[in-house]
Amino acid sequence: VGPRPEVREWVERCPEQFNVTLRVRPGLTDPASIVFRNEQVLLAGFDDPEGAYQNLVLPAKLELSTQYLNSRTLRSDLVVLWATFCAIVGLPPPWSHIDASALLQARRDRLDAEGRR
């Protein structure tokens, strides 16, 4: 359990965003992997999927991973493993209340408020 490794191209484009996640051993699953398991469907709704990934999806995934790493325990790792199993077999994961679309909208609203979008 740990943050999924990102494609080298993204790490090289914005290395400062990966300060926390690159310090730990990568894993096969983490909360961000589960919440954004259908990211291709989300990105299909954008005119510029690459820009949406860089400015919305990637920061949201890194924020989830950082939050997880900052409070990580054996119990939380077991919850992630259970959530992964649930996602694979089609059951609602333990944190199914976390909606990827809502996270992206909140990020979009924050960027708009800062005048950066």
Q: pLDDT tens for residues 11-60? A: 888 788 888 888 899 999 999 999 999 899 989 989 999 999 998 999 89
Q: Compute how many other C-beta atoms are within 10 angstroms of the C-beta atom of residue 83.
A: 22
- What's the CA gap between 95 and 110, in Å, rounded? 23
Residue 73: predicted pLDDT:
96
Q: Are 55 and 117 in contact (CB under 8 A)?
A: yes
Q: What share of the chain is helix, strand, coil (3-state, %, to 5)?
A: 65, 0, 35
Closest CA to 35 of 104, 115, 96, 116: 96
Residue type, 78: L
